[in-house]
Structure 1
Amino acid sequence: MKVVVIGDTLVNSQTLIEAVNEMKLGGTIEEIESFEWYSDLTKDQFQEHILAIERGGPEAVEIPAGIIEALSNADYLFAHYAPISRKMIEAGQRLKLIGTCRGGLENVNLEAIKEKEIPLVHVIRNAEPVADFTIGLMYAETRNIARAHCAIQQGKWEKSFSNDSYKTTLANLTVGIVGVGYIGKQVIERLNGLKVSVIAYDPFVDRERLAADGLNVTLKENLTDLFKEADIISLHMRVTPETKQMINKKYINLMKPSAYIINTARADILCKEDLVDALRNKKIAGAAMDVSWTEPIPTDDPLLKLENVTLTTHIAGDTVDAIPRSPFLLKKVVNDYMEKGYSDMLIKIE
């Protein structure tokens, strides 16, 4: 069999090759052909191409030279940030599986994969760091950690905050998880360890699999119930046409005045105007977000004038080992899929 890998500045092709050699693909790997997608750039230079693919998708950027010919007789394709375009997918007449190991799927033409009925395994390379960070934001916002520090730097010794009448320990709160994918499950696992009550909503989740994974969570039939009941709502969905601005005033207005929103997923899940209105008018207690609708946040952004929001600079997944070692996480998931015939990381394209 033949495997094609595509490296880039953040994940080199040699690491992908090492991971492929540990994959149990059901036969002998006769050839691994590697390609590079701007691997010679610095991280700062590579950022330009990251933004291009996130804004325009795989058809808006150049694909590696020679990749079309290589895919014509390839059985597997593995990449990190490189584009997986329609032209590439259509060239891969023998492809049995495609695997990626980055946070989102903006670099993949999902419609073409659906048409060709090629299984797509997507590993969220920084799931554990993001899950850790999500819990950190819950503490930071509900207990005013960041804003107390900021006040001290400004020469103030603040002891009173806008959420004073709601402050309590995390164990006294119910956390609502929206989206029980890989990261959502990691957050639930951590909350279980902290003995925090967890409810969740995800129309695609398998209840039996959750139980088999040992996760203690109550699934809700709809978002309405979750937003009414939760004290903290943590968002963990992908941005799709169906989820874009899905969390708007329809649901925000259902929240308790003591409740919080946490977002370490994508900003476009939330309707910014409705969130700002709720925070400004104290309809909810607060919000904490690692993502923004424009990055960097403009200096005149209304969020910067609010006293009940914690903002960070899209760093939830930024650890020294998460990205470079992501092919080995992909290896683990591919092996699980090859053995069982299914995986939590197998993308269901509706």
Structure 2
Amino acid sequence: MAKVIVVGDPLVSSNLLEKAALQLKITGPIEVKKFEWYYDISKKEFQRIIKKIEMVGPEYMDIPNGILEELETANYLLVHYAPISRKMIEHAQHLKVIGTCRGGTEHVNMTVCQEHGIPVIYVIRNAEAVADFTIGLMYAETRNISRAHQFMMNGQWKKAFPNDPYKTTLSHLKVGICGFGHIGKLVIKRLNALGVDVLLYSSRENKDDLNKNGLSVEMVDLETLFTESDIVSLHARVTKENRNMIDKSLISRMKPSSYLINTARPELLDKEDLIDALRNHRIAGAAIDVFWEEPLDPNDELLKLDNITLTPHIAGDTVDAILGSPNLLRDALNEYFRGGLTPTALKW
């Protein structure tokens, strides 16, 4: 008997996770124990919880009652956003694999997983959605689509904007991609199809991966990316080393006609340095979908700028991205069990 524990939340229910767990290709019958984490609050309230766990990690979050006892005999643990802390892992002496149906692993104590040699399987549930949205933000900001709409809704027929001296088509711009994960690859693929020249900075350069995916880019260092790009789009994970790495020193390298796009993580970017550059029109504009505080405070300085496009962390929010993620996790786990190549498997 294989024992699988699933922990649902307001976005991905335990019922969806249970259905996926029962389709795992593991030997013998499967017993599923279901738990819920913050299942009885609204999605809006849950966004605050998500932001907190992204900031503080799994160790300072509550866990469902009774889960520690069940973990003592569990073989598999599947979650969406629920925390997986040191205490939980150390109670799970028979745990073989942890699976999470999202791309980020801030809610998992990866250090303890590594100490105990427990593989972590994750999935990029919304990569296509975020890649589409990123391209949309490039158009929206460079061509003033959203701010023109806002003026129209306020009864103003406005056709002049701060970036007027730089307005041109996307194909005439050079886009710099910072980060070469699943989303970054998909953004590059779309830009290649649009005939856009692409620069790429990645701390883990993989030319074989570029060739395998048929992507056309020019690899550059980070300083060159910011110096030469007309649009810089962030797609890196947050680590201790790169937190706030996009600061005044890099932003000051950007052309006055250039734009910054962030659909990744706010912690990559120094907020005050970005605001200063936009307020003084040292760059042409920015488009941001992720924020240091969510929801955004009504008095936030970002709301006072005339050269920024803001969206409320919705880049990955499509009807199929989140609800379909347990099935993606099921498929990734089954591929892992077969010994196949699983790019989203973290093994130690």
TM-score by length of 2: 0.92
Does the CA-based 8 Å contact 1:3-1:32 persist in structure 2? yes
Partner of 1:28: 28
CA offsets 1:213-270 (integer angstroms, 9 cap, x no match): 23333332x2112112211111112222222111001111111221110001121211
Distance 1:103 1:94, change over 3 A: same
CA offsets 1:160-211 (integer angstroms, 9 cap, x no match): 2111121111112221111111221221222222222222112224321232
SS at match of 1:331: helix
Q: Provide structure 2 residue ranges, at least 5 long, that are not aligned to the other structure.
A: none
Offset at residue 52 of structure 1 (A): 4.3
Partner of 1:77: 77
Residue 162 in structure 1 maps to residue 154 in structure 2: no
SS at match of 2:15: helix
Structure 1 segment 253-264 matched on structure 2, within 5 A:
253-264=252-263
Offset at residue 111 of structure 1 (A): 1.9
Distance 1:169 1:12, change over 3 A: same
Partner of 1:211: 211
Partner of 2:5: 4
Partner of 2:329: 330
SS at match of 2:36: strand
Partner of 1:294: 293
Residue 307 in structure 1 maps to residue 306 in structure 2: yes
Distance 1:325 1:228, change over 3 A: same
Does the CA-based 8 Å contact 2:99-2:329 persist in structure 1? yes
Report the AA paired with residue 107 of structure 1. Answer: H
Q: Provide structure 1 residue ranges, at least 5 long, that are not aligned to the other structure.
A: none
SS at match of 1:59: coil
SS at match of 2:190: helix
Partner of 1:280: 279
Offset at residue 340 of structure 1 (A): 4.9
Offset at residue 148 of structure 1 (A): 0.8
Partner of 1:124: 124
Does the CA-based 8 Å contact 2:22-2:30 persist in structure 1? no
Does the CA-based 8 Å contact 1:3-1:29 persist in structure 2? no
Distance 1:15 1:199, change over 3 A: same
Distance 1:41 1:294, change over 3 A: closer
SS at match of 1:180: coil
Distance 1:29 1:225, change over 3 A: farther
Distance 1:251 1:12, change over 3 A: same
Give the aligned length: 347
Does the CA-based 8 Å contact 1:182-1:345 persist in structure 2? no
Give the fraction of aligned pairs with identical amino acids, expressed as a percent: 56
CA distance in 2, matches of 1:198, 1:348: 32
